[in-house]
Structure 1
Amino acid sequence: MGEFIGSVWWMIVSLGVLVTFHEFGHYWVARRCGVKVLRFSVGFGRPLWMRRNRNGTEFAIAAIPLGGYVKMLDEREVEVHPAERGLAFNHKTVWQRIAIVAAGPLANLILCVALLWAMFVLGKQDYSATIGRTTGMAQAAGLQAGDRVLSVDARSVVTASQAAMALTTAAMDRHDAKVEVRDAQDEVRTRTLPLSQLPAGFDERWVSSLAGLTWQFHLQPAMVEQVVPDSAAQGVLLPGDLIVAVDGERIDAADQVSPAIQALGKRGGPGMVEVLRGGERLALEITPRQGKDGRGQPTWQVGVGFPQSSAPAYDTTLQYGPLAAIPAALRETARAATDSLGMMRRIVTGNASLQNVSGPVTIARVANQTAQRGLDWFLWFLAVLSLSLCIINLLPIPILDGGHLLYYLIELVKGSPLSERAMATGQYIGLAMLAGLMGLAFYNDILGLVPR
């Protein structure tokens, strides 16, 4: 319940901030163009709070916090007194109407840059693009533990998430990725990861794993936290022991211990477990015993437990001074916009799964998760969401800002506004398209809540 309340709260905060900036963009430019604004509302439905300024604009916070709007004086919606016709939106030039409509998405774009600037000045903690272990495809390509990824297909990367996104993009496009790394000997080398060989219908969320890459931050040291009483490990292993080998097989992380124990149990008889204890490397004899796992299935056990850390410590920080953070924020905005537009293109062409379309449930969950990780991560989330609102609102779908801009561009070409009937038809089409998109988003949200 705590997670649910936190998710709802941070979604309201996030949408409240982003919608306020979006609508303020419309409002500010409308006032500069001499349009009378009747209401500035954050949220839909019944107003919970309202104030009126000296220009007659009502500022409201409404009950349903999933959007907002700016209502302007417009003869197509309300009866306008002859003395106020010059203040009506529909009496403004087409270029003024374009500026007013485009101002909302532009405000979200500016906010994205500002949030990323603040994030970089504060310093965003993250995980470096260092490889912890390789198997299969990655191992065959020559990638090794300790390699630090510098670029993927000539696109520079610093963090593991940037590298994973670049690899995912290459995999969706079905081409092999050129991965530039700095190895343990400080040599820069280029490896070719044959992502085109991934099977059809692969899960796009796990491209790195499917390619045989495990990032270093995913590897938890095999440090014994507890020894189960009356187990095979009692009297042999101690809390604080770091397991470095099992039956001659090297152990680099806790997730390798169980498979090694299963192999030892199947072989039968005792085996040697090598540990680091108090600065010494010890070889200790142990014999696994057969028990049952959490699902009641037979398994070989020695009776040790490892720390269940919720998140490993960050190993890198992206931080710049106030001036250097400006171009860094612009570059990150361009990178995020390229990724978002590329994903939309791939969804349309069928190269990417429709599961990449997310809705308010996912937004709420990610808002809560990033808020818990710290201000730096929450600023990043707000920036990405603000950019997404900018891009989505510019789609040429009637009812969205992009649809209105399409109407005005047609008006510029033909020299006169579209007919009321044509615009009404467009609105119905837009509503249907938006309803379909929202339905898909909700479906994916619900699917994401179902355990797999």
Structure 2
Amino acid sequence: MNPFFGSVFWLAVTLGVLVTFHEFGHYWVARRCGVKVLRFSIGFGNAIWKHIGRDGTEYQIAAIPLGGYVKMLDAREGEVDLALRDQEFTTQPIWKRIAIVAAGPGFNIIFTVVAFWLMFVLGRADYAPVVTAAPQSMAAEAGIQPGDRLLTVGGEPVTSWSGSIDAIANALLSRTPLAITVSDRNGAQRSLVLPLNRLPAGEDIGHYMGKLGLQLAPPPAIVDSVSPSDPASLAGLRAGDKILSVDGIAVKDSSDLGKQIGIAAAKSPQLTLEVERHGKPMPFSMTARMESPDGGAPRWVIGVTQVAPEAATQHYGPLKALIESFNLTWQRTTDTFSMVGKMLTGQASTKNMIGVIGIAQAANMSAQAGLDRFLEFLGLVSLSLAIINLLPIPILDGGHLLYYLIELIKGSPVSERTMIAGQYVGIALLFTLMGLAFYNDIHRIILPS
């Protein structure tokens, strides 16, 4: 699918699922608390589909798919029939109003736990933290060698590439030196320090990652399988053979093999590969041929697939997956609050905020990466929606909860004048944040890191 249309499609899926779940939380708890729901809307603006349910609730899908709402019977919005007075929102005990408002973010958190649980049950594909460093990068200067395995980051053990990156990302935001422990290909351990304090202030996490230059190391050029009747098979190559050189030019790793074949075959399709088999070097001659794999650009091939990077798939039974899901939800929650705190104190740049364009791009990339990654993405966005909605900003759920807290303390509701003023402040804050996030998205497109 085209990246643009893919991003639009998966953004619609993401918002459709998460907004529906969020609003269903408000709806379900309101109904359980005896409050009449007049409308359940996914999206804003004019309805493109609507249905009146047996309960009298109007269910609709609106034209602007950037949110949704549940409209309840509310005396502040018009006269209420005396027969329905007990179903009106503002006359409910304060604990019911708090429960109804908190239910939206609460259901988003439940969704996050379920999404992470399903991801772990299906298997979360990942790689072992075997790394290399880009030339002249901060990681290279710190002493990272090709094939090093990360053992600890900031004193905490790591067992996967994504887990390592998560730990490093938190340190990048603070730009503080980060202690790591690695082991080389022979198992010898070393303690290193990534001097993150040398990073320039005011940049986003993507820019910092580029400066750090820590990368997943490609595996050695070891043959995983050979295609029958292809040049490598006819020449006698077998699974397990390690390709050392092409026409006398050393092959550094699996990512380098295709490059060296292309360079050599452009001069002459007749190739000589030196291969290590059972510890002994052996020469093999073959004739490369030009192909267009998967409909892509034509290139020189010899008909081998190579060993993939070392896997570190997290695949658990239902109970263990639930425990890991709660752990990951808690970790992501603390990470999010940590990032918000660092942005408020100026430790981290507001350039790390992303808007609807960034979310759309991330939705498309995660969907292309597989169901496990898309479930993780949905869980993360759902958790972010919960946290954002709980911020004490008027017009958000957190703002309403703040009003109810004040009501509990002072013994009477916040005045209508105060609530109206708060709405204006909330709208201004919300549009400021949305504008900043949108600006960041455009800046990343025009000036990528």
User: What TM-score does the superposition give when structure 2 sets the normalisation length?
Assistant: 0.80
Give the match for residue 110 of structure 2.
Answer: 110
Give the match for residue 291 of structure 1.
Answer: none
Separation of aligned partners in 1, 2:197 and 2:250: 32
AA matched with 2:150 = V
Correspondence 1:87 to 2:87: yes
Q: CA deviation at 1:333?
A: 0.8
- SS at 1:90's partner residue? coil
Task: Check the 8 A contact 1:274/1:281 in 2, yes or no.
Answer: no
Deviation string for 1:258-299 (max 9, x for gaps)?
A: 9xxxxxxxxxxxxxx9963586467xxxxxxxxxxxxxxxxx
Going from structure 1 to structure 2, the CA distance change for 1:332 and 1:76 (only over 3 Å counts) comes to same
Q: CA deviation at 1:251?
A: 3.4
Separation of aligned partners in 2, 1:47 and 1:338: 38
AA matched with 1:91 = T
Instruction: Show the 5 A alignment for 1:272-283.
Output: 276=274, 280=281
Separation of aligned partners in 2, 1:306 and 1:340: 48
Give the match for residue 442 of structure 2.
Answer: 446
Give the match for residue 285 of structure 1.
Answer: none
- SS at 2:319's partner residue? coil
Deviation string for 1:296-323 (max 9, x for gaps)?
A: xxxxxxx98999x9xx767331111111
Going from structure 1 to structure 2, the CA distance change for 1:412 and 1:375 (only over 3 Å counts) comes to same
Q: Which of the residues 375, 378, 384 maps onto 1:382?
A: 378
Give the match for residue 330 of structure 2.
Answer: 334
Give the match for residue 170 of structure 1.
Answer: 171
Going from structure 1 to structure 2, the CA distance change for 1:208 and 1:147 (only over 3 Å counts) comes to farther
- SS at 2:90's partner residue? helix
AA matched with 1:385 = V
Give the match for residue 217 of structure 2.
Answer: 216
Give the match for residue 124 of structure 1.
Answer: 124
Which deviates further from its counterpart, 89-98 or 187-196?
187-196
Going from structure 1 to structure 2, the CA distance change for 1:188 and 1:107 (only over 3 Å counts) comes to farther
Count of residue correspondences: 403
Going from structure 1 to structure 2, the CA distance change for 1:170 and 1:404 (only over 3 Å counts) comes to same
AA matched with 2:153 = V
AA matched with 2:81 = H
Give the match for residue 288 of structure 2.
Answer: none
AA matched with 1:181 = V
- SS at 1:148's partner residue? strand
Going from structure 1 to structure 2, the CA distance change for 1:304 and 1:59 (only over 3 Å counts) comes to closer
RMSD: 3.4
Q: Which of the residues 411, 420, 425 maps onto 2:421?
A: 425
User: What TM-score does the superposition give when structure 1 sets the normalisation length?
Assistant: 0.79
Q: Which of the residues 338, 343, 351 maps onto 2:339?
A: 343
Give the match for residue 234 of structure 1.
Answer: none
Task: Check the 8 A contact 2:202/2:348 in 1, yes or no.
Answer: no
Separation of aligned partners in 2, 1:214 and 1:390: 32
Task: Check the 8 A contact 1:27/1:37 in 2, yes or no.
Answer: yes
Q: Spell out structure 1 runs of 4+ moving beyond 6 A.
A: 245-250, 255-258, 303-307
Q: Which of the residues 381, 394, 398 maps onto 2:390?
A: 394
AA matched with 2:91 = H
Give the match for residue 315 of structure 1.
Answer: 311
AA matched with 1:163 = S
AA matched with 2:332 = A
AA matched with 1:107 = F
Which deviates further from its counterpart, 11-20 or 46-55?
46-55
- SS at 1:111's partner residue? helix
Gaps of 5+ in 2: 224-240, 260-270, 284-298
Separation of aligned partners in 2, 1:141 and 1:5: 42
Deviation string for 1:366-403 (max 9, x for gaps)?
A: 11121122111111111111001001101111010011
Gaps of 5+ in 1: 224-239, 259-272, 283-302
Task: Check the 8 A contact 1:40/1:69 in 2, yes or no.
Answer: yes
Q: CA deviation at 1:147?
A: 2.4
Q: CA deviation at 1:334?
A: 1.1
Give the match for residue 192 of structure 1.
Answer: 193
Separation of aligned partners in 2, 1:381 and 1:329: 14
Separation of aligned partners in 1, 2:310 and 2:184: 21
Deviation string for 1:327-359 (max 9, x for gaps)?
A: 100111111112211111122122222221111
Task: Check the 8 A contact 1:164/1:207 in 2, yes or no.
Answer: no
Q: CA deviation at 1:190?
A: 3.6
Give the match for residue 31 of structure 1.
Answer: 31
Q: CA deviation at 1:134?
A: 6.5
- SS at 1:50's partner residue? strand
- SS at 1:170's partner residue? helix
Task: Check the 8 A contact 2:244/2:276 in 1, yes or no.
Answer: no
Deviation string for 1:190-219 (max 9, x for gaps)?
A: 4322222334455531445423533214x7
Separation of aligned partners in 2, 1:179 and 1:338: 21
